[in-house]
Structure 1
């Protein structure tokens, strides 16, 4: 009973320390003998193993085969750490050591063996001379193959021991595995030569492909190869190829055949020209002829990894050099990028359809967020950019990724995340394959297996949970970055450029600039040099971007202005880490920026004062107009922050306005909003700005006076502001209304209201880098001669006694803008009696309105202006449409409530809906109004200064046409369209306005 209690206690203690089966662990330790049972260092090493139970079981079997092993492990802590590490990870290598304990000697060396040392070791194992490739009478048949396998696995144990003990990192382990595979191929070729008559007549080179070629091989994997042969001097080529084919077949058999010692791995030659249907062995010239004429895109991608690994070294080097030149020019092939992307999708779809249990997400190689996602992205970037940047020409993934990061092709953080994920996934892959020495890439769902993986990665608190969480995190990151990099549109654009243009040499650049239509190639070259010269990361990224962006600038109306603007914005943001990264990674931003800078001086000017706004170009959501409530809240917050400094407060509000003007202009030019929305957004933005400035002005005056503000003050929007039809160049037409507070003196209230109105105007128009907003109050009673601010009673008295028909017409646009909303409502109720007269428009007033319209056309049209090209006062222009709509409103709005709107197009729609306007006429008038409004805005956007006339200059007219969406040669089409649309509108206007 006492003995059972002791065993139970010991078993429990071992279970608590980390053994899954404490009782079995107790029994196995006892079987190892008292020295092992009391060896705390050995016990500690077992408990550090990925699977302590597996390590102890395998150690027991090893000790049965070689009783001296425990003493050897005690004497060498390094050997103990390596052996226990192997046994805890790999049941297969544990079996090998138990069968061949002599392999422990291969585990013992402190340092890794070089590739040539492993080659010599495996050649000696099969009885070949490491210093000669001549056939020797060494081991043949099964004896040679078993000897090769035993020597190979002994050396594999050394690599795995250094890996498991942490002495070797991933890159060193993969390189060692690749060198070991190359040594095995060399030894297999030696066996083949010994068994093949006439072997001396053929030179055969074995080209490693895939991970073997890149020196990033797994523990167990197919070894991809290509065979290239030449006859020895004086030998017949046909016979030599036959001999070389037998050598290749014998080599493949020597590696893949199953013997009592198992097999090494499959030698896969299916990456050769024509795949399985092509000859196994070709001459170098035959290979090159095929690649020049028939090779597909994926074959060049595969050749990126090609490296001589065995056989004739000189022939192998010549093959690698010849195909290397082709690899780095392959990206210039038509559809190269699209082909690689399509192939990746096919691979992913195949992995999804063939995954066991439909669980492709557990595939760490082919599944989403797996190794292939990283490798394909890296290879595509290499192939596209590597044709002009030799620094990218690495076979292995991690060195290539590091070079891409150094060159600015991949962001530092993105490269770091991909490298971390790649190392993690490769280590998991290694542990999965080591366990049984089987080719697998599926993460098991068994908790014990997940625990072994987690412990093998150093996770001790919750190995299963920590491993799963880390794996999912890396997979998510890889998938996100793969989508970002692999499908980057910039790649397609770069791939399509000739090499001379990608390199941006001065001569090639100048020729290209002239061909693209740059007016000043010399000036453009100076901008290019300023942006790309030097060794900085900034310059490197610019060298990637500019070859493509030059074409995008050329697609814009003014390439020279676009490039200049890009240089200026880049200079402003040059030290900002996100700017160039954004342009490189989010190609839509770079393309949009090029288009905007090459189209609009207005946008360029706004960007130069707020270059950080480039960030908003990345998404339609970022360019979408912001709600009025959000703008008002932000403006109020800004005012509150600077409340005691009026000028700074309004300067901050105007900076907000500048940002929103830029947002609107970009969305407008990119076709994301229509002209009605542009007018509404600009008008709302002006409302918010006026309200903020008025708040500041009243607060300032109240503080200066030392007593409450004595009157209510409201701002009434008029004209285009009132109609929600502001353009980029519009002043804000307003009227000021005030009403003294109870007990306030009228004179004091009037003076305060006047001061607040003037201060509001001053603050919005004061000189700053931001666009001013001029408040125009000339539509008030008596115009400039009348008081700036009146009381509600004064307005009523004026309108009842002195009002003219044109003032009633002007009030059709009146609406609340800012200030006291209740007072505005009272004013608008007063305005309704004038603008929506119940009795209609008297004949005398109608005649006066028509005469005023005719006189305006005759007198206000600028001298020399072409009336068919003036968007505001010209025939069929804005004035014609607006006066027509307004006349209908004056005559019928009292009876048709839908006509009581300040918006022109809304009034036309209401008139058509009420049967007051033929729907066809409504469409003609609306089309003319939209087109004329778009042109006015386009003139401001393109030139950076306003005009109501379509320019007569060919270049400016062409630029405006392009901004409106016409093709490069569409200037005349644009003018013809405008004349046709406005001519039809004029006919409708004359019929309705003058005759109706």
Structure 2
């Protein structure tokens, strides 16, 4: 097509800017090419003239490359954004030179040069300006002070003068036009606020007055032109440290939904007013229904809601963000792809509208000829996509309608902004009203009435804002309906109210459940299934974020490590990393993954063995990460990585970890440094603190180190050589038999892998030492009696773990088999778990046929019952009716008789430190 027929701007300027166009090679100019062109024109023109001529020449080149050559949208947007950044940089340099000559250099109180940052917002921040766009700017300086010249002024006055020079230089209309219209209304307090703000003023504004819609604006913020200075990067990081916590919250932020609904209603209302006042601009491809703004809202809302917990989805670019959201599973891949296609179509159309007259408009032209030219400028693919029509205008309007309907549908679905159900029941206005509705929902007793009454009178409910109470009532009303279908409605509702009271202090969680009925449904399911889960959620309310999506994938240690690494990298970039941040990141990662395991467990997706495997792998990953960060936080490190390993005993060693289990750990080192013992003892103490300290992000583990050589009387850390001598009986200080029993459930779990391999070799050698069978039998039976005496059962119920015929009997029998026969059967020394070892012993003929497999099945059943009791709130001992496990107890008795020659009876014996330490090894 002929550009002169299509673009009046092109027709007016094409013959007047040959000198500018000649400065660039064919294609779209780069940022350096734009800078060079401005510099070349300054030889014969003032800076304002040079900038305007370069900008107009760039517009001509954009029209030619976009319409005739089909330049990609991203390249067109990048090019006009480069022009904006170049113009701002040149204007900034000129203004700074003029002001420094008069007032000197602005200084901080410490005497350093104060830094001035021009922050690009909106499309400039995202490097996706449209070709006739305004540029939204906020001006920030880092610190107060005054200039050092002969006529000193405050830094505030100095930078305010700079703004007053920069804005007109860019936006004033002259005979050569303008460079960019500048909008500064996104600064704190808008038009009523100062034109420039310090970082301290900006931070205070965010904390005290920052509104929800401003978070969308600052999401795309980017420093586009600092003054050249070695301190500029420091100032940029300081700005990022102020902006990031305002934009990105550490929890899922569904309170934004209502704010966005209000903002969107306002935008649509204004678009409607404009359409009524000026019908020729009614067809707005940006602000109208299904337009560009709604795609941007979809992207930004998902980012704001999730980005605090998922830094990987943060991007200022709309197209890149769509791809990241799809990769993160927050948008279906086909939806994200179609939204991207729609965005490109609408932006290309927007550009062609603006190419007509270089006007900042987004509405289809009312003139038929202009509309036809516009449609033809969209390219032949448009007609090809609609072969049933002959005119380009008809094809354009059909395509536009289809795109808008798709975008509007996705947007309304995300915001639940579709038509309201006029016949639906009005939501409850008070807790008293909810109490009246309990009977209708099927709650016949008084328990739920009393619980609701208690909530109504609680200080936490009274402290809620009006919006918070409305959300709370909405969630409770839905919760009542869901709890009514549970096995015990009163119990389920009571647990739900307990959780809501605990998390209600952060009203965004109420917004989360009010906006996400599927998440509330999953929460009620979890609460119905487990008292332990209910208590866990009350202690760690941030985990409710994970209820948004039904978890399917198994735990991956690498995903936990990757999360920790990405969070640390982000904080290092901001220069805000410290040990406290590390502690919180570890805890957030741990509780996120633990809750995902818990939800899948309660949903019946995992067996008890799989739960234990995943919890053990999670503990290994967290300990490994803690070792890295804790070592990095050690003063006077003598090597880059510690020659240090953590050995897991007991439940973690046997990969039978349960929810809330303690960790039995032993610390080994192998380092020739003369001060190694002192260094690693200090490191181990610090590591234990990293793993046990409670922070606002929760706790991790309780740690028991009594299984180290010589127990509490021994050193917290042991050299690998000394550990080997102790376990292998070399020297005067050697391991007891019960310590070799504990060694059967020990493994390297984190730290230096080379030390781990050498430990495994020592372990195997110790377990395979020849032993006197009769003496071994008596020692193990004596220790079993002592352990049982330490856990008396004074009820008529069966203690699944400690009573005769229970889990500990199986564990002692397995340990006896390993220590008695591993010298000839090497496979028994493998750390493969009690069930596999029992099956292996039977296969090797060490147990009668059926005994090993029967005991293994019984042990699996007892573990499952113990797990279920734990989920129902049993703190330690799990008791059940003896008759319910008669078959399992018989299978365990058969095992103990086969291993020891007679059933394991509880005999009199004295207590002492060894059995308490061995008790730790048995969890």
Q: State TM-score, norm by structure 2.
A: 0.49
More RCO (CA 8 Å, sep 6+) = 2
Higher gyration radius (CA): 1
The structure whose residues are more often helix, as a share, is 1
